[in-house]
Structures are given as C-alpha cells and as structure tokens.
Amino acid sequence: MRDYPQHIVESLHVEPVPRRIRATLAGATVLDTTDALYVWDVPHYPQYYIPRADVDATLLVDEAHAHKLRIGSAQRYGLGVGDVERPGAARLYTESPLAGVAGTFRFEWDALDSWFEEDEEVFVHPRDPFTRVDAIRSTRAVRIELEGIVLAESSSPVMVFETGLPTRYYLNRTEVDFDHLQVTDTVTACPYKGQTTGYWSVRIGATSHEDLAWSYDFPTHQLLPIAGLIAFYNEEVDTILDGIEIERPTTKFS
C-alpha cells in the first residue's frame, strides 16, 4: 500500500451503518447490505461505502480505469440494467489507509434511481447519524412579513430544529395569505424530511421573489407534524417571534 498523508487519514471518519441499505436502478436491486460503512469523504455528511460482496456483479461494467484518490486507489465502474446505462457510477477501492474501506464500492448517489434505509426511501444523500431534526408544536406567536406585507401569522406553529440550520416555522395554510403567493413547479428533497409537494413565490407589487415558501404533504414519519404546513425561508423574509423581529440568518439558502 502506498503512503498517504497522515493529516488526511486522521481527518476522515469511518463508522459502521447499523441499518440495511439498498439501492435500485431500472427496477433492479444493485446493492443490498447490512454491512455498509459511513465515510465522511465530503464535508457536512457521510457517504455509504458498500462491501463488494453485497453488490450485484452482473450489473457492473468495468471501465478499466484505475485512479488514485485522496483516500485510496480505486477502479471505476459503470452500471447497466437492460437498456439503462450509468457510466462512471461507482468506484471500487482496492486499497485504502482507512480501516474497512478496501474492497468497498462508493456509488454516485444520482446514478441510482432510489436509495433505502431499511424500507424507507432516502433522498439527496445519506442521513448523517449525528444530525438531529425535531418537529415540535408551539403556541408562540409567529408572523412572517416581506416589505411590510404580512404573509402569514400563527399562534400554533410547528418549529423544526435541524442541526446546522436556523429554526424553521411551519404554519397552517389557513394562516397564510395566498393573495401574495404564486405556486411554482419547483420540487426539492431533503434526506431528513422527504420530498416537497409544493413551492410558492411571493409577489409584492411588480416584484416576484422566487420560491420563498414550501410544503411537505408526505414527510418522513419523524416529521409528520409538518405535513401540509407551509414554511418560509427566514433568510429571505422578516420573521417576528413573540413580537420580536429575528435577524435574518445567513445560510447556503441565503
């Protein structure tokens, strides 16, 4: 095994995944394992690393391309299911200084149609086991404004507390003024909450503020209290909580 810089090895974290992980492409199960690893090879969240024995080898296409990466040497593979092809879909690590990584595949998330933890679909990327998301009912007064126009006002919000993000305030639809909202075609997904079923832009006069509000009609079971409710990006609107205006946070959504 070649030498790897010690600071790189020490900066990367590996843990076993305690859940069954599966992924599919064009109706075929590409991987099915209870021995996956979490590897934090990108900032903010881990990736799944899948043992070679738990990947359907008949669907792999060896692209005969070896390369050396930050955490080891790898061989590149594509996927083929019938007429569906996904070039560059995965890499098989043949050696690595990280315990357990040699002999595992790291798949590109979007190369697969669907990913599952146990029997629940996971969106966007693996859930970080150290990230917590809580949806808590409240009787605090919340008012949402933009340019002095009241967009929503509630005394029964559901507050969502998610590690690394500002508190989100989900409000009943009857408490939202839809006169200023315009539905859009935007759809996003979150590994912790699921896939959105509605987005709205806000129109104030002749100005349209794109995609400032959203809703999950069918969130993950942990976030069921937000089902059908509407939240606004508090990075882009004015949020008044118990009569006190909250400073707009700065995040990747700003």
Instruction: Mark which of 81, 99, 122 sits at the end of a domain.
Output: 122
Residue 89 lies in a domain: yes
Paired residues of 137 in beta bridges: 158
Q: Check residue 220 and give its pLDDT.
A: 93
Instruction: Mark which of 75, 98, 122 sits at the end of a domain.
Output: 122
Residue 251 lies in a domain: no
Rounded Cα gap, residues 91 and 152, in angstroms: 48
What confidence category does residue 136 fall into, taking pLDDT thresholds of 50, 70 and 90?
A: very high
Counting beta carbons within 10 angstroms of the beta carbon of residue 116, is it exposed (0 to 12), middle (13 to 18) or buried (19 or more)?
Answer: middle
Across the range 113-138, mean pLDDT stands at: 95
Are residues 74 and 38 located together in one domain of the fold?
A: yes
Are residues 75 and 24 located together in one domain of the fold?
A: yes
Listed in sequence order, the residues at least 6 apart from 5 whose beta carbon sits closer than 8 Å to its beta carbon are none
CA–CA distance from 241 to each of 9, 34, 49, 155, 225 (Å)? 45, 45, 43, 10, 20
Are residues 102 and 15 located together in one domain of the fold?
A: yes
Number of domains in the chain: 2
Across the range 148-157, mean pLDDT stands at: 97
Q: Check residue 106 and give its pLDDT.
A: 98
Query: 232 or 97: which carries more pLDDT confidence?
Result: 232
Listed in sequence order, the residues at least 6 apart from 117 whose beta carbon sits closer than 8 Å to its beta carbon are 19, 20, 21, 127
What confidence category does residue 137 fall into, taking pLDDT thresholds of 50, 70 and 90?
A: very high
pLDDT above 80: residue 225: yes
Task: Enter the tokens of residue 69.
Answer: 């990466």
CATH number of the domain encompassing residue 148: 2.170.150.40
Are residues 10 and 97 located together in one domain of the fold?
A: yes
Counting beta carbons within 10 angstroms of the beta carbon of residue 72, is it exposed (0 to 12), middle (13 to 18) or buried (19 or more)?
Answer: buried
pLDDT digits (tens, 9 = 90+) for 189-221: 999 999 999 999 999 999 999 999 999 999 999
Alpha-helix runs per DSSP H in the chain: 6-11
pLDDT digits (tens, 9 = 90+) for 67-99: 888 889 999 999 999 999 999 999 999 999 999
Nearest to 142 by CA among 151, 130, 153: 153
Instruction: Mark which of 72, 100, 122 sits at the end of a domain.
Output: 122
Residue 127 lies in a domain: no
Are residues 107 and 155 located together in one domain of the fold?
A: no
> How much of the chain exceeds pLDDT 70, in percent?
96
Residue 23 lies in a domain: yes
Task: Enter the tokens of residue 36.
Answer: 């996956």
Are residues 115 and 139 located together in one domain of the fold?
A: no
What's the whole-model pTM score?
Answer: 0.84
pLDDT digits (tens, 9 = 90+) for 5-46: 555 555 678 999 999 999 999 999 999 999 999 999 888 899
Q: What is the mean pLDDT of the chain?
A: 94
Are residues 116 and 142 located together in one domain of the fold?
A: no
Residue 215 near residue 157 (C-beta atoms within 8 A): no
| Residue range(s) defining the domain that contains residue 174 | 133-246
Are residues 118 and 144 located together in one domain of the fold?
A: no
pLDDT above 70: residue 4: no
